[in-house]
Amino acid sequence: MARTRRIETKPLGGGHIRLSDLRGFHRLASDATVGLTDVVEAMHHAIASTSPIFGESPEGRTSGITGTVYGSVRGVARLVGGGVDALLGMLAPLVTDTPSSQEREAVLAALNGVLGDYLAASANPLAIAMALRAPGGVPLAIARDALAAAFPEPERKLLVLAHGLCMNDLEWNRSGHDHGASLSRDLGYAPIYLHYNTGRHISTNGREFADLMETLLREWPHPVERLAIVGHSMGGLVARSACHYATLAGHAWPGRLNDLVFLGTPHLGVPLARAGAWADLVVEISPYTKPFARLARIRSAGIHDLRYADLRDEDWQRRATPGGRVPRSRLPLPRGVRCYAAAASTQARPASRGAKARGDGLVPLDSALGRHRDPSVDLGLPETRRWVGYGMGHFDLLSRAEVYARIRHWLSARTM
């Protein structure tokens, strides 16, 4: 019988903004100014070229005095941006960062979800670096001594929790409940939380998560008797991708993974995210509005991957190639791992026979259950490992008592 214990999950205190945040936001604002100048100039060029209302917009930029003005705006924006960035860099050694606040963490998580790939590529200080954290957002050094100090009791069960798009690890604590803390108390798991930039490609995060898990298992100071991963929404896709890349790399940890629980994970993609493609299409019909497509496409690589549940590099690379549209990812679930899928439906009760049940407001029911009429796409989960919670939304999967009861039931089962 598991020992009863309680892990403290105190909210972070401290400040809402740091000097590095100022540098990051200013750099982002400077980049946005240059980008907006490009948009306005493209519209000006299209109008000056007397393009037809519908059709292709002319290539190139404005010329003469007009072109000089636009070039000057770009140059000043870059010059001012570089100067302020240098000034803040000089001040950095004089300022001591305070501990982060929950509000700051939430803002950074949302920003990374929308622009995370750009922030990472431009080395912006606002980009979130992948890390494992203890309850309460405390960073974990993945070294034997540091882990022994963070988890002094002989923890033999490991639980890793992966959050969803535009979220962070602190948001597992919702309405006073945290699946990780509760499973620690009831089943004796050591809860460890993945914190990552959700705007990057799922496959990029999956590969990095795979390497991080290998280091964690190697450095864990106690023998590991059971290993489980719980992924909410995109977190489940990142976990599946990690299993794939860990197997390719010859890592040992997939062979020690016992349970993989998906909560509202869009295994077959998210139609709601695909709706953005219609906006791109409408905007690009006319050369006068086509420049705004540059703004309409402000959706990160992570959001694009969520459309079709792209788990591997080759999935999104083929989609990025003209004419390279491919079917939904058919990456199978990891072999030898007990997998479970919990979905939510906003309906108060199951649909009548033959009627299509609603999803959780973000993820369709069949997508969350990995269920498809095509056997090559269906994940093949037995019905005993699929569960639907009615009268709840996507984020209720993080806090409803009946959801936790189901997770606890699944993870109480004997290892395979």
- Lowest mean pLDDT of 158-167, 241-250, 284-293, name the range: 284-293
Query: pLDDT tens across 233-288, in order?
Result: 999 999 999 999 999 999 999 999 999 999 999 999 987 544 444 444 444 444 54
DSSP string covering 342-404, please?
EEEESSSSPPPTTPPPP-SSSS-HHHHHT--SSTTTS----GGGEEEEES--GGGGGT-HHHH
The pLDDT of residue 224: 94
pLDDT for 387 beyond 80: yes
The pLDDT of residue 181: 96
Q: How far is CA 267 from CA 235, 311, 370, in A?
A: 11, 10, 5
- Please give the residue that has the higher pLDDT: either 331 or 55: 331
**What average pLDDT score do residues 212-235 get?**
96
The pLDDT of residue 102: 78
91 pLDDT band, cuts 50/70/90, is very low
- In whole angstroms, give the CA distance from residue 143 to residue 36: 45
- Please give the residue that has the higher pLDDT: either 107 or 85: 107
The DSSP element (H or E) to which 40 belongs, if any, is helix 19-48
The pLDDT of residue 65: 46
What is the token pair recorded at 229? Answer: 């991963």
SS (H, E, C) 47-108: HHCCCCCCCCCCCCCCCHHHHHHHHHHHHHHHHHHHHHHHHHHHHHHHCCCCCECHHHHHHH
The pLDDT of residue 323: 60
pTM, rounded to two decimals = 0.76
CA torsion through residues 400, 404, 410, 411, sign: positive
- In whole angstroms, give the CA distance from residue 204 to residue 128: 13
